[in-house]
Amino acid sequence: MALAIVFALLAATGWGTSAIFVRLGLQNISSTTGTALSLATGTLLIGAIAFAVHGPGEFALSFTAIGWIALLGLLNYLLGRFLNFNSIRLAGVSRAAPLLAAAPLVAVTLGVLVGGETLEPLIALGTLIIVAGVVLIVTAPEQR
């Protein structure tokens, strides 16, 4: 469990750092090119590590697995990252990044609706706080 938390923190650090580079890079390049370049770089880097760690045998996936992973790629990288980059380009890191933080709320909601979990009081309270935070950010005066 401790290792999972360490990995999650490293994930947060990677994503948080990426947003800054995106903001700097998209001043001169379109978001579609930026997203494609980002995905190409990631595929090469993570693919090389995956091959080194697991070997080519682990890439012999079933059709079911390929189908689900393709859906994941569509959701996360085509839609998610493309919308992410455009949101940062238009609204800036300071407004886009906190709103992107609501992603886990969607994951938890799916857990409740699809996984059959009940709505606990903490969940309701957390939802209200999220809404308050979003309202604060959305209604902040523009400053550049």
How many other C-beta atoms are found inside a 10 Å radius of the C-beta of residue 105? 13
Shortest CB 120 distance to another protein, Å = 4
The answer to the question of residue 144 lying near another protein (CB under 8 A) is yes
Shortest CB 112 distance to another protein, Å = 7
Say if residues 87 and 96 touch (Cβ distance below 8 Å).
yes
- Restricted to residues 6-25, the positions that interact with another protein (CB under 8 A) are 7-25
The answer to the question of residue 140 lying near another protein (CB under 8 A) is yes
Shortest CB 66 distance to another protein, Å = 7
Q: Report which residue type is found at 36.
A: A
Half-sphere exposure of 112 (CA within 13 A, CB side): 11
How many other C-beta atoms are found inside a 10 Å radius of the C-beta of residue 102? 13
- Restricted to residues 64-123, the positions that interact with another protein (CB under 8 A) are 64-66, 68-84, 86-112, 114, 117, 120-123
The answer to the question of residue 1 lying near another protein (CB under 8 A) is yes
Count how many residues are written for the chain.
144
Shortest CB 52 distance to another protein, Å = 9
Q: Report which residue type is found at 126.
A: G
The answer to the question of residue 63 lying near another protein (CB under 8 A) is no
Choose among 78, 94, 80, 101: nearest CA to 23: 94
- Restricted to residues 27-56, the positions that interact with another protein (CB under 8 A) are 27-30, 32-43, 45-47, 49-50, 53-54
Can you tell me the distance from the alpha carbon of 63 to that of 125, in angstroms, rounded to the nearest whole number? 42
Q: Which tokens in the block code for residue 117?
A: 């979990």
The answer to the question of residue 143 lying near another protein (CB under 8 A) is yes
Q: What number of chain residues touch another protein (CB under 8 A)?
A: 124
